[in-house]
Every structure is written in structure tokens, then in C-alpha cells.
Structure 1
Amino acid sequence: MSIFILTLSTHLHAKELNIGTATADITPALPVAVCGQFNLRIAETIETPLTANVLVLESSESNKTLDLAIMVSCDLVGIPNELVKKIRAEVQKQIPGLDGEKIFLNATHTHTAPVLENGPESNFRYPIPKEGVLQVEEYQNFFVQRVADAIIKAWENRSSGSVSWGLSHAAIAYNRRVVYSEKAKKPGQFSNGTAQMYGNTNTPDFMNLEGIEDHDVNMLFFWDSTDKLVAMTINVPCPSQEVEHRLAVNADFWHPVRESLKQRFGPQLCVLGWTGASGDQSPRPMYRKAAEERMLKLRNLSRMEEIARRIVLAVEETYETVKKDRYTDVELAHKVEILPLPMRKVTEKEYLFSKSERDKYKAQIDANPEAAKQVLTSMTWNADVLKRYEIQQKNPDAKLETEVHILRIGDIAICTNQFELFTDYGLRIQARSAALQTFVIQLAGPGTYLPTKKAVNGGGYSAIIQSSPVGPIGGQILVDSTVSIINQLFSGK
């Protein structure tokens, strides 16, 4: 332990950093519908457990809470707002006086976790059988109770500790939007742009990948008063989508990451996976695939194991670098804001196209109800655009109100958003932030893409109107508002 920490411990009224951790098993019963694709998938197998990992931070002085943050990382595709409200209410019943707004949940975005949307008001997309499959409401109730119990446990076991932060790099994420030459435009697509998610790069029309790639790995490390490492947060700008198509329950690459780190640091370690801004990134390489496959074979690793290996190496190297640079008396400040972001405008052309697509898929289901398993999501995806257009006609200035959390922990800042936020937005926030390091956490909410202007011009899935209720104007407002709050926290105002 550094001299700095020892000196602080002699100050009678110094602020203390209190740390609490807990892990909840949120693995569903089988069979269960899993989400993340455009068709119904029923999982009959559990390949790895799903977990919710809880970290409680409290700044206190003379046994009085100054501020707090309760952070929960979940092996899910997204976090419906209604479930956050239920968890907060349940925790507040058990801990009267606790500020429930200081609780936030984020998803790692594994596409092999249970469906959480339920009912037409939640844009329910999957025709889940009424019998023989775990129902969405059953899993929601299970999830809420498990997470609330874990938060209460973490709150009750909090004790004084220390923190350090560090930065490393690992090639995990690759830009997944392929740009083609102008001559590659094809009529009848969602957009007459030139970009396509997961497009073929081995073609004369391939020009470039659309956006920058972010290989930063931001980390926080937490020790208890006995110098035992009890928690870490790992901020990787990449969704966990390596095994996204399987008919199984799987936490994706975060599971082998956690297991490997627990072997290294002990079973008490609580690991929070934070997905950074990566709406246009994924763990899939878009070129040099043969060379990547050769290296995997020579290492005798699966692609998921290779991703975990890279993350763990970055963590271990950073831990060894910063482990003696710990702090107990750190500034902890947590702001919660509701930002009204302008809804992306639906053009008449987009409205008419979405209507024709909705009608096409509806006709398929009417002719053959079994077709719903494959096309219901596409039908509702386009129907959502029609609803937005109707709202827009009545209220041209319609807004999407979204909750964001901005934290200061010593020299670092943490900021959340509910979106699959394109990487450029995360870089804008980090570049303008007054913090030494800035952790951007996406999918602290239900999701939906938030593309850049460049991406909207390029078209394709993730940037078209069906994919994003908020567009580039709202994205820049999110950036500006987030940076403003961060810099206020660091200016002392």
C-alpha cells in the first residue's frame, strides 16, 4: 500500500471510500426464448451461466453518506426501463432512504440471453409459445428479485477500501460497416447509400470501413481494507456478440474473461463488464480472416477464448502497473440527468417504404402463421416507424427522454447512455472530457442504434430509420450534455 494511503488513514475526519460487491446468478430456466436476432430462437441448452455483477461505491465522512453509486453489469442484450424501476422500488423497500436513482444497470449485449420485452407497448417482437417455454414475465420477475437481492447484499457488506485506475489496449473490436463505391448502389434496398453492416470486403467495389476503431481498455480496480482485490470494471468498446446466433444461453466472451480473472485473483473477485461506445463495432474481423483463423488453430483456441485472452492480458498488465497507486480519499460525485433528445425525423419516402415492408410481412403471416417465427420482428420493426411518423405529424418536435449517469471517481469520469452508440460519439466525449480517463458505458437502458451523420448518409442496417429513433442531431446533444456535466464535476462548480 502506498504512503499516500497510510497518511490518509491517520486523518480523523477524512472521507472514506466504501466498497460493496455481490454477484447474482440470472441464468434462466429452460427452454427459453433468446433475443438479439430477427427470428424466434428457443434455447434448450445452457453453455455458460448468466450473471449480474454488482458494485456499490459510497463516499462517507463521520459515518454520513456524501454520495453513492450502485452499478450492475448484466449478461443481457439490453435493459428495459420498466425493470430498472422495479429493481429500484424493491431495493428501496428493503433499504428505506436509499436514493434509488443512484442505481444503474448496463447490458453486455450478449445475443444469447432471454427475451425481456413483453407486450405490445414494449414493441414485443417474438411469437413465444404460451406453453412449454419460460414466459417473459416469469423471467422478468426472477431477474428483478435476483438483482435487487444482490444490490442489498452488496450494500450491506460494504466496507472501507481503495481504488486505482488504468488504461491499456487490446484489439477486440472491429468496425463492421463496409463502404462500397458509388457504382455498387442497388435500388430497392433500405437505403441507396453505399454502406452495409458485415458486408463482403473481398470485392472490387470495396472501398473502406466506415469508422474508426477503438482498442482502448479502461479499467478500475478496487481493494478492501485487507488489501484483497475485490472488484474490477473493464470498459471494452465492443458488444459481446461472438456466439450471437446459437440456440443456447451463453454470456459470450465475458464468461471466460471472468473465469480467468478469478483464477488469477481469487473467487471473491467481482468483474463488471462495461461495453463502450461501439454501435458500429463488433468482435468479428472484416478482412484478413484466413490469417486470424490460422493463429487460432495454432493457439488451439476458439475465437471467444482468443478474445478473452486479449482482454485478460490487458488487465493483468495494467494491474501490475497501477496496483501500488491506490487511493482511499477520492472525490465521488454522481449526477443523474434526464436528457430530452430530438427524435429522428421520418421522411415521407421512409414512411412509405416502411409501410410497404410492414404490409409485405403481415401478408406472409396472414397466409401462414408459422411465418411469424421468422418475420414478426421485421414486421414490427417497420411498424414502429409508422407509429413514429404519426407522432411526428402531431408533434414535429417530439423528444425521447433518456436517463444518463455521470460519475466522478477521483481522476476518472464515467458516463452512461442507453444506446448502441456509434464509436465516434464515444471518442468525442473522451477527447473533450476534463477527466484523466473517461469510461463511456453504452446500453445502460433498452438499446437502439444512434448512428453518425456519415453513417446515415451511407445507409444500411444500424443507420437506417428503422434502426434509430434518435439520429445525429440527438447524438451531438448527448455528447455536448455529457461533456458539460463531466467538466462541471471536475471544475468544482
Structure 2
Amino acid sequence: MILWKIKVGLVKLMYNLEIGIGKIDISPPEGIELSGYGIYRGRRNIGIHDKLYCRALFLKFGEEEILLINNDLIGINSQTLKETREKIGNAIGLNHDRIIISCTHTHSGPATVPLIGWGEIEETYLQMLPKRFLEAATIAKQDPRKVKVKFGRSVIKEVGHNRVLPGGSIDTEVRILEFVKEDPKKVATLFNYSCHAVAIDVRTEDGFYVSADWPGYVMRILAKKGAGETFFLQGMCGDIDPKVAWHMRGFDAAREVGKLVANAVLKASGNSTYVEVDTVKVKRKEIKLPFQKINEKYIVNVLLSFLDQIEKKEIGTIEDIRAHVRFYRTYAEDMIAKLEEGMPDSIETEIQVLRLGDIALIFLPGEIFVDLGLEIMSRSPFKKMMVVGYSANYVGYIPTSIDFEIGGYASTKVPIILRQPPYLKSVGKNLVEESINLLNELTS
């Protein structure tokens, strides 16, 4: 009986946080090219299997106001990020540092980042996004409700595998945040897990439809189970794919993964415990990711490597060869032009951190390799943690040093797709240190 009284007393302390929810359909029109696979597939969508959404979560704690925008997109570029913050800041009075934007990284959504040959951007659609994000944000701020917060986690090992290192690290748990009214009805659930949204094989007919992939199935299942509005915060999945990927399967594979992850989220919900939110903080730090220095010889070596692939018959049909010739020719032209103009030595991006009581969420740019995210969680001053990738502007992959040593796709091929030099080998290590420093600032 004494324990019961203490628990009720604690719960009463927790209704000092308010949240609001907004949700807007951002599905592209038929015919817009989908993004995530190359080279020059011309994968123009033939319809919508399941809608893509922008979800907004508005948090209010005293005078502190924070907005999280979560999108069923592969990523966003720096211009979309800038315009979104300007529109939202001007319309609802939020400081840019308090606007967080992340994406689920579906590969069955429209091209929204400059991945050359991996889906052509439709400018009309791209220019529409900041307005739609603002609409979701405006709805979220209109009706905030007092909530208490629960945090939970559960083990999940049967979904993902390390696609770079056989038997390598994976994310073995799902982490959740629940926002609960006094009813105690759930207003929203945030779940965080690391696995590429690529269950739908691009080589099947299903690969030509718009879809949120397996995260969409999870969110629909959870909504039916009373989870409130659900947000998928994609984790550190740069080197993690679902085991079902690349097996010529379509929506059935996405559904299979969705059920497994949804069950893990529901298990985490059953294990979740209340967290006293007596502090809410957000911090943002601008950083630079440094490039390797390259010259004309580097470009020649890239082209020679491509010719070696042809000679070894690693590239299949004549159509495939033509697509690759186009890809590498335009790469060489673009990079030579950049060398003549003055190649940048880095790319500008940012890290954001959010604290809710003794819970911390860190929002990182790009496709983080899992070992980097696991190190951040293990060294963080917060034991209740979520590491969220694909936040702010898309910057490609942030690999471990091992990927550079083996000449992996993330460290060598993706820079070619992005038309930029490779990052320094230390890029992952440096990002981890920046992350830990910013998390430590939240404790003061």
C-alpha cells in the first residue's frame, strides 16, 4: 500500500509537460521518381500503396517550446531544412534551434536529396515540402495536452543484419517514448530502432509504388493497438539492412518486418516505466564534416576502377553499362569543374540533442554506422537514450574507419553519388566525440 501511494504521488508530478500532434499527407503524385536505388533506374511511381506523412510533435514545458518534425522521406537537403525553419519560425514564433527535423529513410518515397543517378528530384514537389511541414507544425501547436512520459525498451534480434561485416554489430533493442494522458490514453508513441527501410525489393513490381516500407506497417499496427500517433525515429542503420532485403519480395516482406518490430514495441510498452520530466532542454551545434583532399589523379583512379568492373564483367547488360558510363562521365565532368572552381574542404551540418528528465535523444545527420551509435549510447551520461539518424540535412554515410580500410560502398561509392570527395577516415570518431560533448552539456 505504501508503494502504491508513492507511485501515485510521482505520477501527479509528471503533468508539467504538454504536447500537441500534427499530421499531413506528403505523398507524391503519380509519375514522380522514387529514390534510393541506382543507377538511373527511372523508377517513376505507378501509384500509392500506403501514404507518406509528415508528423509534428510540439512540446511545451513552462516557457520552453520545441518542435519535432518527422517525415516518411529518404532525407532532406540543406535548402529544405533552411526554408522549413524560416517558415515555422516566422509563423509560430519558434527559434530555429528548437526545430528538429528527421526522416524515416524509406526507399519507396520521392527523390528529395541530391543522389545523382539514384532518383531525379521533382522541383515542384521539393518546393512544396516546407509549406506542408509548416501545416503539420501549426496543427500540432493548436491543441497541446498535458501528459506524463514513459520510457521502455525490449530486445529484438531477428530483424536486422550487418550488411557490411558478416556477423558484425546490429541494434538489438527497440526504445520507446510514450506520452500518456490521465485517462490513461496514449497521445503519442515514439519508437527508435536501427534498420534500413528497404524490405521492398526494387526489382519487383511492388518497388514501383509509393510506400513507407516496414516502418509504415509498424505505425499502422501500433495505431490500432492504442499507441496514439506514432513516430518512427530511424536509428544508426548505415550498415544495417533487414534480413528479408534483396530476396525478390515486396509488401509481404515489409509487413513481416513491421509485425516483428511492432511486437517488440508493444513488449517495450509493457515494460515501460514513468519518468519524471522536471527538466526539458534542447541544444544545437553546427559542425563541419571534413573531406579528403583530392586532385585529377583521384578522379582518373575512380574511372579506372569503373573500367576494371567492366573488364571483369561485374556489370551486367549493355543497358547497365550505358547507365554506368553516363554516371561516371557526368561524375568526372562535375568533379573537374569543382576542382577548377575550388573544391570545398568540408560539408556543413549539425547535431541536436533533446533532454526530457533523465531521457536524452540525439539527432545526427546522415547514415550513421551502428557501432558509432552504440558507442554514443554506451558513453552517454544518460542511460535512457535514443540515437536518431537522418536528421537535419542529408550528408551521406558516416562510416567507421573499417569501411574506409575495406573500400566499402559507404566510404567510396556514396561520395561519387553525392559528387563530393570522401570524408576523412576519422569522420565517425569525430562525430562521436562531438555527440558526447553535446550530451554532457545537457547535464549542466
Which range, TM-score by smaller chain? 0.7 to 0.9
Partner of 1:486: 439
Per the alignment, in what secondary structure is the counterpart of residue 110 of structure 1? coil
- Match in the other structure for 1:452: 400
After superposition, the Cα gap between the structure-2 partners of 1:4 and 1:33, relative to the gap in structure 1 and judged at 3 Å, is farther
Q: 1:105-144: per-residue Cα shift (whole Å, max 9, x none)? A: 2111111111124xxxx5654786xxxxxx7222123322
How many residue pairs get matched? 420
Aligned mates of 2:254, 2:155 — CA distance in 1: 18
From the CA coordinates, give the structure whose radius of gyration is larger: 1
Match of 1:477 among 430, 434, 438: 430
The answer to whether the 8 Å contact 2:190/2:230 transfers is yes
1:65-104 pair list within 5 angstroms: 65=63, 67-95=64-92, 97-104=93-100
Task: Give 1:488 shift.
Answer: 2.4
**SS of 1:464 mapped into structure 2:** helix
Structure 2: which 5+ runs fail to align?
Answer: 309-317, 416-420
1:174 correspondence with 2:174? no
Amino acid at match of 2:291: M
Q: Distance in 2 between matches of 1:382 and 1:237?
A: 34
1:440 to 381, 387, 390: 387
Deviation (angstroms), 1:358: 9.0
Deviations 1:79-121 (A, max 9, x none): 11211221222222321x321331122111111111124xxxx
Distance 2:156 2:349 in 1: 31
Q: Secondary structure at the match of 1:476?
A: helix
1:313 equivalent in structure 2: 263
- Matched residue of 2:60: which SS? strand
Find 2:409's aligned residue among 436, 446, 461: 461
Selected match of 1:265 from 223, 226, 247: 226
| SS across alignment from 1:463 | helix
What's 1:192 paired with? none
In structure 2, relative to structure 1, the CA distance for the partners of 1:216 and 1:18 (3 Å cut) is same
Q: Write the distance in 2 (CA, Å) between the matches of 1:286 and 1:359.
A: 29
2:131 to 145, 161, 166: 145
- For 1:389 and 1:457, the matched residues in 2 are separated by 25
- Matches of residues 227-242 of structure 1 in structure 2 within 5 Å? 227-242=184-199
> How many angstroms does 1:47 deviate by?
1.0
TM-superposed deviation, 1:24: 1.2
Deviation of 1:26 (Å) = 0.6
In 2, Cα distance between equivalents of 1:286 and 1:49 = 21
Shift of 1:162: 0.9
Q: 1:154 and 2:140 equivalent? A: yes
Structure 1 unaligned regions, length at least 5: 129-134, 179-207, 361-367
CA–CA separation in structure 2 for the residues paired with 1:251 and 1:328: 33
Deviation at 1:340, TM superposition (A): 2.2
What residue identity is the alignment partner of 1:168? Answer: S
Q: Which amino acid in 2 is paired with 1:475?
A: G
CA contact (8 A) 1:385 1:466 kept: no
Q: State the secondary structure of the residue aligned to 1:37.
A: coil
Alignment check: 8 A CA contact 2:11 2:274 kept:
no
Normalising by structure 2, we get a TM-score of: 0.84
- State the identity as a percent: 24
Per-residue deviation, 1:274: 1.2
Where does residue 415 of structure 1 map in the other structure?
A: 362
Instruction: Give me the whole-angstrom Cα distance separating, in 1, the residues matched to 2:232 and 2:294.
Output: 35
| Equivalent AA in structure 2 for residue 283 of structure 1 | P
Cα 1:277–1:384 shift into 2, 3 Å: farther
Could you say if the C-alpha distance between residues 28 and 402 of structure 1 is closer, same or farther in structure 2, counting changes exceeding 3 Å?
same
Contact 2:199 2:244 in 1 (8 A): no
Structure 1 residues 123 and 235: alpha-carbon distance in aligned structure 2, compared to 1, 3 A threshold:
closer
Matched, 1:51 2:61: no
Q: Residue 101 of structure 2 corresponds to which residue in structure 1?
A: 105
Two-structure CA RMSD over aligned residues (Å): 3.4
2:286 is paired with a residue whose SS is strand
TM-score of the pair, normalised by structure 1? 0.76
